[in-house]
Structure 1
């Protein structure tokens, strides 16, 4: 029996709570995603395992927690001996390809993918390493508020250049596959960079929200009342003592909505290509994000915290011939995707290899499944690990430096009431503290993070001296095999290039 094709589509920094997938009142227009959702399995409580690009993605592709694989920040080295879903699927006979972003840092830029169709939008070196030795220093590459202050429509951006190439190359891959490798299953990962800031998008998508009431953040919290990590983040993003104009907040949110619609438009292109190539019936579609965006909620922007807007991601699986359409309420995470993809492909997991993720197959077929997310964050804004446990109605944020945070999301979805001091919740709090202490050796993780930062800063500085040898992925194109060439019979070339063949 032929294994199913897998098309795994990723968006960057797409906040699940405000999408129409999860909020019926959302003004965001996502017709293609909503159609997939109506026919697929939608996870209403899906999370990243680290609310930052590289750590989240390393965890997603490997199924292992950040502290296990050294995924500390956006310049962390991702070791080449860490198994990924691409390694697993290659062993099952799949063609594995990545078009777009995965933010791999270090000299291995493939990590199991046979092909990368584009370069990455972000650097592969150690230049963005965090520095806990100087926690008050605001590094030059940190986010600032220019994305909000300059929000609005634009004709072209760096990110549009990237995503246009990502989708074009992905479509071309599907055309080439059906013309040349139709009998072999593929796993194609298409990873776009929108709706990640900067908050700007062409007028076509900006104008989708003309006359639409763009809501301001539903809650703002004075900086003096914020938890210590949020206060540090306000300084990281250069927002401390710098209130934003209300109209620019609305512009940023409107552009973000437009960028979500742009992602949906690109999904529509991919779906049409599947249909045109007669691949739609045999292809499982998975859609996810890497983390969310605070978008001004609580006075915060971007990600880097465990609040819902930053940590919750969209996640759906579209395989209507295999799973009936339904919604899953249990909390799961993108770390669970590796075992899920392997089982969807008909493979088995290696018992002697480390794995923290758990298969979502029971959720997909409606037979149960786990209800737990474990998260770790050791990057910008921290000076000590900031951990998270999400189970049942509760979210627990654990630090051995900052005050504990405990929220009952069933009663307090906006996370306004910290229950850590509530007399009625001391037994629960105590059990969660005991679990956290048993799960994490915080001093050891702290030291490992610090050691990694120091090594990477040293190496990054050393590599600025002398001749530069880039680690950035260089997609190779053999022009001798493209289009019309004299060593290829013209009639044969035209016959093979046409689909469907006559």
Structure 2
């Protein structure tokens, strides 16, 4: 029988990593995440592989950058022959289960998970494919616009709340199943929420927590359009910023709802951790986001940018042998796959020559790391691929269409001063140029993205003609195997479905 740790992965969507300088910021109402942080290795400078949902998540699962997964955007297929951490762990004897979002595109909606408890919240087909042949085109029915900001506020239920309520419920039920011990294998449960992703709408109980919040105005005020770098201008155009009158109150209300939804998530995380504790189970726990959110800083919202608010993510690991504490080493969510395999003692050597991520466990055991963190973006709001490197205190970005950027994040955390043209930083710029040249052929990258887009613009409309057979995951539950049925022995059933077993209340009323 396989021996190894149970693993609980808590993933959230669009959570700005600058709000987690050392676990959740003090002013955030997040008691459960703060308790988790206290026993975790906390990576203050963790980055997404790509600041968009599907590319970032495919990279998180596989340990590969988008140029290797070919998941360039939110409608690019994630090939079923790419091993994910779910494949590696399942092959080695783990039960692997997903409750929630992963934004897989294509007919494979499992990618190594043995079981998937809920459908996805976003479509699994090619309908959201951007088109580099039509720069500047907005596809209004699926591109972001500023309606999430101008329409922010309070509601008891939304599409996303309904989804995350379900995700948490199914995850708790699965933990009860694990506790019953019907399957002796160790387990890996991924619980993936869609909050605090916009729209910025929160339940009243969490909204009320931020009535006196001092952080409702962005740390960098809105800039004039012409003061933005070229890619940020393209994002503003893609988000249809020019056709919306966004007031200061809209901004403050949206940020308040976003913070409230962090507290909503914290409550869900608390429910799951409480279930783990009450059932007497132990697990290594990893908390991460797919990308961040600019939250009105500079006038930018959502993601699609290498700026810190969009690209930085929270990343915390609580596991045996991983020393708790703050770690400021730049790392990436592509490091999750090799980290989980390392944690479980799973060998990745067969594909190691082609992997990108690095295990984080040595950092939790006193080792140092100097390799740069790489990011890529080739989706909506771009007209050609963008790439970035973070090493030490510096971040470098490159795009064939734009001037280079070099920022000193220690001296300039809000990235307001581009050092790429400064003679004093010529040597640093040359070093980053050399690292980028060694890693990327941008002409080839651009050609591969364009080929992928063109193919999908043929296939998608073809598949929507005549009979339509969607790829969206359809969860199934076998009713005849649930609760009590006549092929079951009632006495055996009642005992087998109890967890923990053998506990009796004492005379004072305590278990």
- Give the shorter-chain TM-score range: over 0.9
- Per the TM alignment, residue 216 of structure 1 is displaced from its structure 2 partner at its CA by 0.7
User: Partner residue of 2:321?
Assistant: 322
1:166 aligns with 2:167: yes
Separation in structure 1 between the aligned mates of residue 189 and residue 306 of structure 2, nearest angstrom: 30
| Aligned equivalent of 1:335 | 334
Deviation by residue 1:358-400 (Cα, 9 ceiling, x = unmatched) = 1111111122234521011000111111000000110000111
| Structure 2 CA distance for aligned equivalents of residues 434 and 84 of structure 1 | 30
Q: What does the per-residue CA deviation read over 1:226-259, in whole Å, with 9 as the maximum and x for residues that have no partner?
A: 0000001001011136441111111100000010
Q: Is the 8 A contact 2:286 2:315 kept in 1?
A: yes
1:157 aligned to 2:141?
no
Q: 1:45-444 to 2 correspondence within 5 Å?
A: 45-140=45-140, 141-181=142-182, 183-219=184-220, 220-240=222-242, 242-280=244-282, 283-319=283-319, 321-353=320-352, 354-444=354-444
Greater shift, 333-342 or 423-432, is seen at 423-432
- 57-66 or 357-366, which moves further after superposition? 357-366
Q: How many Å separate the matches in 2 of 1:85 and 1:182?
A: 20
CA distance in 2, matches of 1:445, 1:325: 39
Please tell me whether the aligned partners of residues 24 and 34 of structure 2 are also in contact (alpha carbons under 8 angstroms).
Answer: no
Gaps in structure 2 of 5+ consecutive residues: 503-511
Whole-angstrom CA distance in 1 between matches of 2:206 and 2:120: 24
Superposed CA deviations along residues 142-196 of structure 1, whole A, max 9, x for unmatched, are 0011111111110110101111111111111111111133631001000000000
Partner in structure 2 of residue 30 of structure 1: 30
What's the Cα RMSD here? 1.4
**Cα shift at 1:136:** 1.8
Question: Could you state the TM-score of these two structures normalised by the residue count of structure 2?
Answer: 0.95
Could you give the per-residue CA deviations for residues 414-435 of structure 1, whole angstroms, max 9, x where no partner exists? 1000001111011221222232
Please list the CA deviations of residues 62-93 of structure 1 after superposition, one character each: whole Å capped at 9, or x if unmatched: 00110012111000100000011111101211
In 1, Cα distance between the equivalents of 2:479 and 2:335?
40
Deviation at 1:204, TM superposition (A): 1.1
Equivalent-residue separation in structure 1 for 2:437 and 2:134 (angstroms): 27
DSSP 3-state at the match of 2:264 = helix
Aligned-pair CA distance for 1:20: 6.3
Q: Following the alignment from structure 2 to structure 1, what is the Cα–Cα distance between the partners of residues 351 and 478?
A: 40
Provide the C-alpha distance between the structure 2 equivalents of 1:148 and 1:214, rounded to a whole number of angstroms.
Answer: 16
| Counterpart Cα distance in 2 of 1:223 and 1:128 | 26
Asked whether the equivalents of residues 17 and 292 of structure 2 are also in contact (C-alpha less than 8 Å), the reply is: yes
Range with bigger deviation, 132-141 or 117-126: 132-141
Report the counterpart of residue 40 of structure 1 in structure 2: 40
Measure, in 1, the Cα distance between the counterparts of 2:244 and 2:90.
50
Q: Is the 8 A contact 2:52 2:304 kept in 1?
A: yes
Tell me how far apart the structure 2 counterparts of residues 370 and 166 of structure 1 sit (CA, whole Å). Answer: 38
In structure 2, the residue corresponding to 1:419 is in which secondary structure? coil
Query: CA 1:243 to 1:423, structure 2 compared with 1: closer, same or farther past 3 Å?
Result: farther
Structure 1 SS opposite 2:34: helix
Q: Name the SS of the counterpart of 1:421 in structure 2.
A: coil
- Could you list the runs of 5+ residues in structure 1 that have no partner in the other structure? none
Question: What secondary structure sits across from 2:457 in the alignment?
Answer: helix
CA contact (8 A) 1:45 1:332 kept: yes
CA distance in 1 between counterparts of 2:370 and 2:228 reads 32
2:280·2:500 contact (CA, 8 Å) conserved in 1? no
C-alpha distance in 2 between matches for 1:266 and 1:494: 29
Name the SS for the 1:240 alignment partner.
Answer: helix
Q: Displacement, 1:490?
A: 2.3
C-alpha distance in structure 2 between counterparts of 1:500 and 1:19, whole Å: 35
CA contact (8 A) 1:15 1:291 kept: yes
Measured in 2, the distance between the counterparts of 1:331 and 1:221 equals 28
Which has the higher mean CA deviation after the structures are superposed, 129-138 or 286-295? 129-138
| 1:489 positional shift | 2.3
Contact in 1 for aligned 2:20/2:44 (Cα 8 Å): no
Cα deviation, residue 44, structure 1: 0.8
The answer to whether the 8 Å contact 2:216/2:253 transfers is: no
